Amino acid sequence: MPTYKAPVREMQFILHELLSVQNYSNLPGFSDASEDLIDQVLDGGAKFAEDILFPLNKVGDREGCTRNDDASVTTPTGFKDAYSALVEAEWLSLSADPKYGGQGLPAVLNLALNEMQSSANMAFSMYPGLTHGAYQALLAGGSEEQKETYVTRMINGGWSGTMNLTEPQCGTDLGLIKTKAVPQDDGSYKITGQKIWISGGEQDLSENIIHLVLARIEGAPEGIKGISLFVVPKYMVKNDGSLGERNALECGGLEEKMGIHGNATCVMNYDGATGWLVGEEHKGMRTMFVMMNEARLGVGLQGLAQAEIAYQNAADFARDRLQSRALSGPAAPEKPADPIIVHPDVRRMLMDSRAFIEGARAFLFWTALQGDLQHKSPDEKVKEKAQDYMALMTPVLKGFLTDIGFKTTSECLQLHGGIGYTEEMGVEQYMRDARIAMIYEGTNGIQALDLVGRKLAANGGRAIFTFFGEMDDFLGEHSDDEDMKPYLDALKTARDQLQDATTWLMQNGLSNFNNAAAASTDFMHLFGYTAIAYMWAKMAKHALEKKDSGDPYYANKLKTATYFIERVLPKAGAHLAALKTGADSMMALDAEAF
Amino acid sequence: MPTYKAPVREMQFILHELLSVQNYSNLPGFSDASEDLIDQVLDGGAKFAEDILFPLNKVGDREGCTRNDDASVTTPTGFKDAYSALVEAEWLSLSADPKYGGQGLPAVLNLALNEMQSSANMAFSMYPGLTHGAYQALLAGGSEEQKETYVTRMINGGWSGTMNLTEPQCGTDLGLIKTKAVPQDDGSYKITGQKIWISGGEQDLSENIIHLVLARIEGAPEGIKGISLFVVPKYMVKNDGSLGERNALECGGLEEKMGIHGNATCVMNYDGATGWLVGEEHKGMRTMFVMMNEARLGVGLQGLAQAEIAYQNAADFARDRLQSRALSGPAAPEKPADPIIVHPDVRRMLMDSRAFIEGARAFLFWTALQGDLQHKSPDEKVKEKAQDYMALMTPVLKGFLTDIGFKTTSECLQLHGGIGYTEEMGVEQYMRDARIAMIYEGTNGIQALDLVGRKLAANGGRAIFTFFGEMDDFLGEHSDDEDMKPYLDALKTARDQLQDATTWLMQNGLSNFNNAAAASTDFMHLFGYTAIAYMWAKMAKHALEKKDSGDPYYANKLKTATYFIERVLPKAGAHLAALKTGADSMMALDAEAF
């Protein structure tokens, strides 16, 4: 039987020790976030994820969603009640802006709850996840009236939100969008066109669905510079905020997907639907990018979250399943065979998973704290650095955490042997669900291009040089600490490889853009390993401080750090070697030769 | 729409040029295998796979198999007709022993057809695939009467065969088998027990199903040394070979799996079923290993085959899908965007796939030819070397080709973006189907242990030293050829890394078996990359000979070889570095800490 237990202790270690969230009490909302309150929130969130969401995970996968003849969509059994409970418990408004009804707690704390919800039921958690992205876009680009009308009702999930970008002829290249918007005398627009792969485009969970739709105003410039953003509610909203008549839009069908069956992936048909411009004409991409950056962090989290639940179940299985004897002699002579956790190759799969998950979680939470600092710090230098880091790290978190997160789910499936391939153990669902995270909100190839083509070069490379400087400071600060030596040596190697790659890109990517693009995915992975090596070095420092505490937690942290250095980090060098060969061999064949 | 076109030219290159099958005309069966005949067989096999099997691939996935109330199993629509056509066309007896009705052609040619069938419809191809393994076991261990009775009727698929190993409490550790065999006065045994995950255990395709079942004779020694092999037909066979009454066995249920839905994965209940001993009492594992080695080569092939069809569809998609402009300027200015094949990161996915597939196919076919030599060569030295190679390479082919084959299907899915995650493009099925190949016939972890713990050490390491010697001879022979230099340099590096790892294993794996086991998966991958580097060097030599032929095929082969060296082979070094760190960090945590 699959199980899920929220990794509360791991989250406490990161929030209380690694990030010392309590030290930021000068920031709005952080003063409320005492250690006690954080622990209470984590415990409450854990209970909700474990008891309410997780039991519906398999149900959602097996039942999927149904589009009815009247174009309504029915979500799996139990989803509606769970959603109501989620709204009622006000979990969704935890870190939202108090001005619009939120509780204003740190976003990094909210992220912890998001991880739990995503592990427990990824398909379900996407409904509120998209809502969060949608209202962030409205907060970033909408009018005060739009914020009052929509955001206040979306913050707790009573109304939900969606992102409508993709059309059949365009996913990555949004300049090809055909959906059109015709201005009306009353200041609204009539929106007409077809959008596809709209997660939660129709469902039976929320009272209203607020669609954010990219479209082209009649006569707009060609390409990406003629795209505007519109807010298009499912039900029109009256002046008093109550629901009016149905808008001219409907779900035309659901996609048959490999996974996330519990989430309705809709074809959305807009047939002269009434919408309102968000922000300026033709500047829709700017606001959409706010939403996408936000969403991308959340997708990176999904990679981590599915890895976590797959790992937990693999560890349970490895302790329970009896098969063969340990090479060093029977470990459980009273049983017919030893639990498979005694076998090194089984350990390899568990340790690979664990070293990734703990490092990735630290990296993700550390970056999310930058998000809090970016929005809340009174210090302009801190804000700038935080903003730089958010921009730089987001594509790495999205691409690297979903690539390795998926690989981890596959490795945890592997550990189960044949039964892992059947629905019985749940792990094959985690793998199928995790697979989408490498694709949506910009494929991982697009993340790598964003990193190499945009984020690296921004402000003359300020962000990555700041990051190198931060790592150098850390290396310098602890250079006298003998216990830190193995972790620092590993970090130094990784950091130097990343610097080498960055220099190579600067020397070879500008004269030939194909070199930069050819290097991009390897660079993103090299960056990911380096960032996680930095996190492991930081975690090792905190663990060393407590190594005499008698709590095995800290000794285990150090052992896992060593495993990461010895067994995982060598991959970084392979990425460096590959990327420095340039684009020639990659581009050598004619298209017809494939 | 998904498509499949058998890679006939690639197979011709390997059979006619790389392996020069025509040079072995002194061997039985090979004299019939002229270039013309081989080409005819490949063309006919291609047509069958493309026109008959491939159209049923998606049908099989969507419909799956059904167990009826009478315990019979219905395969997907069209499977029965396709199976009859397969039997009628005598595709299955191509390389089988003429003594039992086979056509006696080289096994390596048969392998080419198997690849096509597996690409076109993996779930379907497993039915005859398992039959092949089963009659090989009977040929290896059965009595002459058993061969006459069963093998002659299995060779063309009229009767099918299965392998019954796994029970709920044991997969890898077959010493835990509980199924019991009670001797009867007439020399038969009554078999009672439950077997699980029996592929094709029940179906509506063949007239009879011949189950090979591992069981323990009453009073047999404990563990693996008390396991015997039995042949247990679904229908009893009369003296004249006609079918008698139904045996006491039935399908108790079907597994719900992630993929290969068209193949019936059965729970098989034996309730005093009549069976006959194959070979000696308590020596069942010996014969079963013959069957498993055979089957493992076929599973490695599945990894390659699914990668091939995924690659073909990814390449088509990359040529058709218009999205964004080439970084070097518009490639198709008359279109709204360029085909995505212009983008380096898309090329990366295609070239990764291609470099693996072409190298892996060469490795697999080269090994399969060793199988022919092992059975047919009149030269004892050749036989010995061929047998050594078959033993050594089989776990590498099974483990490495399925690991990287699966990864390739995932990369080809990724190339499609969102639509790759839907059932529309077919590629998500190829990925789900490919996933099982890493697990069955011994998980890839078990393959790695077999390689490191058994195959490396056999006969004092004779097999791997012969392989090092062969690579050294090749390096020496071509050392004056300037054109060969890049391919030889790469091979030399890979070869030296493999030697380094082998030496490390000898020095550290014997004193501490955990070191060997901890190294095993990395060693298997390092071995795989090295073997494929050898294949690429050999293919480069043949391509260089024809580089002035005007046929772009050879120039493309050289370009792909360069890509393999530059972009793929660096991974080998990471495996070496990881494995040399030993078992300590892998084994450091207590079981309870996970």
Query: Rounded to the nearest 5 degrees, what angle is found at the Cα of A138, between the Cα atoms of A133 and A143?
Result: 175
A548 Cβ neighbours under 8 A, 6+ residues apart: none
The verdict on A423 touching B (C-beta cutoff 8 Å) is yes
Contact criterion met (CB < 8 Å) for A324 and B173? yes
Asked if B341 and B320 count as a contact pair (C-beta separation under 8 A), the reply is no
Instruction: Output the 3-class SS for B44-86.
Output: HHHHHHHHHHHHHHHHHHHHCCEECCCCCEECCCCHHHHHHHH
The verdict on B573 touching A (C-beta cutoff 8 Å) is yes
The verdict on B5 touching A (C-beta cutoff 8 Å) is no
Contact criterion met (CB < 8 Å) for B169 and A336? yes
How far lies B574's CA from each of A135, A214, A578, B86, B500, in Å? 44, 45, 12, 45, 13
Name the residue type at position A395: P
Nearest-by-Cβ selection for A257 from B348, B422, B556: B422
CA distance A103 to A92: 9
Please name the helix (run of DSSP H) or strand (run of DSSP E) that holds residue A254, with its range, or none.
Answer: strand A249-254
CA-closest candidate to residue A524, choices A461, A571, A563: A571
The verdict on B589 touching A (C-beta cutoff 8 Å) is yes
CA distance A395 to A392: 7
The verdict on B222 touching A (C-beta cutoff 8 Å) is no
Contact criterion met (CB < 8 Å) for B583 and A197? no
The verdict on A3 touching B (C-beta cutoff 8 Å) is no
CA distance B235 to B243: 6
Residues 430-489 of A with CB under 8 A from B: 431-432, 435-436, 438-440, 443-445, 448-449
The verdict on B329 touching A (C-beta cutoff 8 Å) is no
Looking at the complex, report in whole angstroms how far the Cα of residue A493 sits from the nearest Cα belonging to chain B: 14
CA distance A473 to A496: 14
Residues of chain A with C-beta less than 8 angstroms from the C-beta of B337: 173, 175-176
CA distance B573 to B497: 7
Looking at the complex, report in whole angstroms how far the Cα of residue B354 sits from the nearest Cα belonging to chain A: 8
Looking at the complex, report in whole angstroms how far the Cα of residue B521 sits from the nearest Cα belonging to chain A: 7
Q: How far is CA B227 from the centre of its chain?
A: 26
The verdict on B3 touching A (C-beta cutoff 8 Å) is no
| pLDDT by 10s per residue, chain A, length 594 | 899 999 999 999 999 999 999 999 999 999 999 999 999 999 999 999 999 999 999 999 999 999 999 999 999 999 999 999 999 999 999 999 999 999 999 999 999 999 999 999 999 999 999 999 999 999 999 999 999 999 999 999 999 999 999 999 999 999 999 999 999 999 999 999 999 999 999 999 999 999 999 999 999 999 999 999 999 999 999 999 999 999 999 999 999 999 999 999 999 999 999 999 999 999 999 998 878 887 899 999 999 999 999 999 999 999 999 999 999 999 999 999 999 999 999 999 999 999 999 999 999 999 999 999 999 999 999 999 999 999 999 999 999 999 999 999 999 999 999 999 999 999 999 999 999 999 999 999 999 999 999 999 999 999 999 999 999 999 999 999 999 999 999 999 999 999 999 999 999 999 999 999 999 999 999 999 999 999 999 999 999 999 899 999 999 999 999 999 999 999 999 999 999 999 999 999 999 999
Name the residue type at position A459: N
Q: What are phi and psi of A268, to 5 degrees?
A: -115, 125
Catalytic, A256? Answer no
Contact criterion met (CB < 8 Å) for B421 and A428? no
Contact criterion met (CB < 8 Å) for B513 and A328? yes
Of A441, A470, A545, A566, catalytic: A441
Residues of chain B with C-beta less than 8 angstroms from the C-beta of A449: 345
Look up tokens 């089984």; give the residue. A346
A465 Cβ neighbours under 8 A, 6+ residues apart: none
Contact criterion met (CB < 8 Å) for A583 and B410? no
Asked if A210 and A154 count as a contact pair (C-beta separation under 8 A), the reply is yes
Residues of chain A with C-beta less than 8 angstroms from the C-beta of B198: none
| pLDDT by 10s per residue, chain B, length 594 | 899 999 999 999 999 999 999 999 999 999 999 999 999 999 999 999 999 999 999 999 999 999 999 999 999 999 999 999 999 999 999 999 999 999 999 999 999 999 999 999 999 999 999 999 999 999 999 999 999 999 999 999 999 999 999 999 999 999 999 999 999 999 999 999 999 999 999 999 999 999 999 999 999 999 999 999 999 999 999 999 999 999 999 999 999 999 999 999 999 999 999 999 999 999 999 998 888 887 899 999 999 999 999 999 999 999 999 999 999 999 999 999 999 999 999 999 999 999 999 999 999 999 999 999 999 999 999 999 999 999 999 999 999 999 999 999 999 999 999 999 999 999 999 999 999 999 999 999 999 999 999 999 999 999 999 999 999 999 999 999 999 999 999 999 999 999 999 999 999 999 999 999 999 999 999 999 999 999 999 999 999 999 899 999 999 999 999 999 999 999 999 999 999 999 999 999 999 999
Residues of chain B with C-beta less than 8 angstroms from the C-beta of A317: none
Nearest-by-Cβ selection for A573 from B169, B574, B592: B574
Q: Which residues pair with A182 in a beta bridge?
A: A190
Specify the DSSP class assigned to residue B453: I
Token duo for residue A463: 């962000």
CA distance A310 to A312: 6
Residues of chain A with C-beta less than 8 angstroms from the C-beta of B424: 256
The verdict on A335 touching B (C-beta cutoff 8 Å) is no
Residue in chain A lying closest to B571 (CA)? A574
Nearest-by-Cβ selection for A417 from B171, B349, B589: B171
CA distance A171 to B70: 49
* Sign for the pseudo-dihedral over CA of B366, B369, B370, B371: positive
Q: What are phi and psi of B85, to 5 degrees?
A: -65, -40
Token duo for residue B359: 């190298």
Q: How many CB contacts within 8 angstroms connect chain A with chain B?
A: 256
pTM attached to this predicted model:
0.98
* Alpha-helical runs (H) found in A208-283: none
End-to-end CA distance of chain B: 45
Nearest-by-Cβ selection for B567 from A336, A418, A578: A578
Look up tokens 């091979």; give the residue. B491
Residues of chain A with C-beta less than 8 angstroms from the C-beta of B342: 591
CA distance A68 to A74: 7
CA distance A359 to A430: 20
Crossing angle of the two packed helices A427-435 and A380-415, in degrees rounded to 10: 140
Nearest-by-Cβ selection for B418 from A418, A439, A559: A439
Helix-, strand-, coil-residue percentages of chain B, each rounded to 5: 60, 15, 25
Asked if B120 and B50 count as a contact pair (C-beta separation under 8 A), the reply is yes
Residue B420, helix vs strand vs coil: helix
